[in-house]
């Protein structure tokens, strides 16, 4: 039986839950049913929790992973996630990072609702597991 339409799902970048439904008959041969995600796709719950609380989601990732040139960086997540206020994260970093690195990180914190931390850094800051 031939399919007459195609449905795909984009998942939330934070929690992995379904966030956006894609309907398109022209993409049937190029799309998988579960498309994964992009760093700008969030479910309403994750997005509203971060924005309503001026917060940022911290996501623990495997130590030592580096982005590859021209590739979307989606490191191996190790299962820890916590929502904290952006100002709290900036204070944490201000106490432990040099000024040049801090100046590079602050704009990233200000414009995003998620931030990756390696497991070793997660433990240094004593974040809950």
| Residues of the chain scoring pLDDT < 50 | 1
pTM beyond 0.75, yes or no: yes
64 and 100 inside one domain? yes
Structural domain that includes position 86: 53-129
The pLDDT of residue 39: 75
37 and 93 inside one domain? no
42 and 61 inside one domain? no
The pLDDT of residue 27: 54
5 and 45 inside one domain? yes
73 and 119 inside one domain? yes
62 and 102 inside one domain? yes
Q: How many domains does the chain have?
A: 2
Q: Output the 3-class SS for 1-59.
A: CCCCCCEEEEECCCCCCEEEEEECCCCCCCCCCEEECCCCCCCHHHHHHHHHCCEEEEE
> 99-111 vs 86-96: helix axis angle to the nearest 10?
170
129 and 89 inside one domain? yes
């Amino acid at each position: 039986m031939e399919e007459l339409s195609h449905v795909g799902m984009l998942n939330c970048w934070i929690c992995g839950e379904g966030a956006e439904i894609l309907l398109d008959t022209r993409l049937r041969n190029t799309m998988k049913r579960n498309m994964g995600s992009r760093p700008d796709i969030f479910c309403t719950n994750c997005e509203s929790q971060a924005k309503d609380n001026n917060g940022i989601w911290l996501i623990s990732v495997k130590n030592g992973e580096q982005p590859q040139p021209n590739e979307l960086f989606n490191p191996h997540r190790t299962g820890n996630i916590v929502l904290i206020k952006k100002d709290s994260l900036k204070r944490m970093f201000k106490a432990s990072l040099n000024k040049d690195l801090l100046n590079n990180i602050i704009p990233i914190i200000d414009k995003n609702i998620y931030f990756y931390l390696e497991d070793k850094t997660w433990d240094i800051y004593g974040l809950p597991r």
